């Protein structure tokens, strides 16, 4: 069976942006706003070299909420794939959930099985690519990523840029990622060494509240 490193998109692969209309930090609404984070191209190239599939699993309800069109979402996806490829990094697949239970557009106002924290997109990918989920990793920066990965049976890796409030909410929901690191590059370095059964790395990256902030 195949193995995968599943990746959340916003905050892991690309930077979040300020949406002045809605007054919040949000997903990029168009290709011009999409900027790949430092170290990501090298990290995904390393995932490829290690023999893992690199698969994006992302909630993208912006279309449902009327923030941008499906055409802009697809154009943003094309930019992501193209810029990664220019750096020698390959995404094997991209899965988006477009639904939201309070969507402005009727077609997307559903309670689905694919919106994280539900594991539907991971299960779809596992069936298509014959992936062993227990031997795969989910790297994300949010609680829904960790819950979705856990629900699918993956090892989970929280990348946390000093967002300490996440630790409190993880504790409230009684959810723990397996590992925690600073960013995707840090996570991939850890995965590489975890695959070699390095006990020092196992302890170093094991999830502990405030490990990033201490």
What is the predicted pLDDT for the residue at 108? 85
User: pLDDT: is 55 or 212 the higher one?
Assistant: 55
% of the chain beyond a pLDDT of 70: 94
Whether 107 shows a pLDDT value over 90: the answer reads: no
Residues marked as catalytic: 8, 10
Least confident of 34-48, 106-120, 150-164: 150-164
In the chain the domains, ranked by start, together with CATH numbers, are 4-205 (3.40.50.1000)
140-199 residue pLDDT tens: 999 999 999 999 999 999 997 655 667 778 888 888 899 989 999 999 999 999 999 888
- Predicted TM-score (pTM) of the model is 0.91
CA-to-CA distance for 187 and 100, rounded, in angstroms? 29
Q: What is the overall mean pLDDT for the chain?
A: 91
């Amino acid at each position: 069976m195949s193995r995968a490193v599943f990746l959340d998109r916003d905050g892991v692969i690309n930077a979040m942006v300020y949406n002045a209309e809605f007054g919040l930090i949000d997903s990029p609404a168009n290709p011009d706003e999409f900027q790949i984070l430092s170290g990501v191209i090298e990290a995904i190239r390393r995932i490829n070299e290690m023999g893992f599939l690199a698969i994006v699993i992302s909630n993208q309800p912006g279309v449902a909420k009327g923030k941008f069109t499906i055409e802009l979402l697809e154009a943003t996806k094309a930019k992501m794939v193209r810029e990664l490829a220019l750096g020698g990094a390959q995404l094997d697949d991209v899965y988006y959930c477009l639904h939201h239970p309070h969507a402005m557009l009727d077609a997307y106002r559903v309670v689905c099985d694919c919106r994280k924290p539900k594991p539907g997109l991971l299960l779809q990918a596992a069936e298509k690519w014959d992936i062993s989920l227990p031997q795969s990793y989910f790297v994300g920066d949010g609680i829904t990523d960790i819950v979705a990965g856990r629900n699918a049976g993956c090892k989970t890796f929280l990348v946390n840029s000093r967002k300490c409030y996440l630790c409190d909410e993880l504790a409230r929901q009684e959810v723990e990622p397996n590992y925690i690191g600073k960013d995707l590059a840090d996570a991939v370095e850890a995965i590489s060494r975890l695959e070699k059964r390095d006990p020092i790395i196992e302890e170093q990256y094991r999830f502990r509240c405030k490990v990033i902030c201490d």
